[in-house]
Amino acid sequence: MKSELHIIRNAKPEEYGTAGQLMVQVYSQLEGFPKEDEQPSYYSMLRNVGDFTAKPDTELFVAVSPTGNIDGSVVFFGNMQYYGSGGTAIQEKNAAGFRLLAVNPNTRGAGIGKLLTVHCIIRAKELKLQQVVIHTTKAMAVAWKMYEKLGFRRSEDLDFMQEKLPVFGFRLKL
């Protein structure tokens, strides 16, 4: 499957549940990532990912296949005060961020994660912001490498602990 066949767009409200189910599926299968019984509130947030869109400057992007399947999703924040992570990221000014990037396990390797990430970078540039902030964990090694290839750099000042899980910050200067 080639990712260029996927369309990246804002999720429709009726697609929020599908995007949330995809996120739960993806995150619960990550080796070394906390399971639902360990962090139930985190998984509840994933399931209800559409709720983020009620916040100003916050969008849920989906990667839609030619047959209409949602094969990926990500939450984009045009204003970091709504980013909702731990650490200092919410204090970043003139910055966008994205969280909760998820790609259907059956379509991995097709470049969908990269398409979603690039879409977020383009959106930040459209908003005339100066940087994009993200977080990842050791369990997300594939995404970590992709972010670095796209120009994101480790920013230890953005690191934090999510309960017992170390979370690592990255920045891309625009």
Q: How confident is the model at residue 45, as a pLDDT?
A: 94
- Residue 77 bridge partners (DSSP): 58, 97
pLDDT in tens, 116-137: 999 999 999 999 999 999 998 8
Q: Residue 69: pLDDT above 50?
A: yes
Average pLDDT over residues 64-69: 94
**pLDDT confidence of 2, banded at 50, 70, 90?**
very low
Q: Residue 53: pLDDT above 60?
A: yes
**Quick one: 3-129 is in which CATH superfamily?**
Gcn5-related N-acetyltransferase (GNAT) (3.40.630.30)
> Which of 1, 2, 3 lies closest to 119, judged by CA?
3
**pLDDT confidence of 32, banded at 50, 70, 90?**
confident
| Strand blocks (E) in the chain | 7-10, 58-64, 70-77, 95-103, 131-136, 153-154, 160-162, 165-173
**pLDDT confidence of 143, banded at 50, 70, 90?**
confident
pTM score of the predicted model: 0.93
Average pLDDT over residues 141-154: 91
Domain ranges of the chain: 3-129
**pLDDT confidence of 139, banded at 50, 70, 90?**
confident
Longest dimension (CA), the chain: 42
- Are 33 and 41 in contact, with CB atoms under 8 Å apart? no
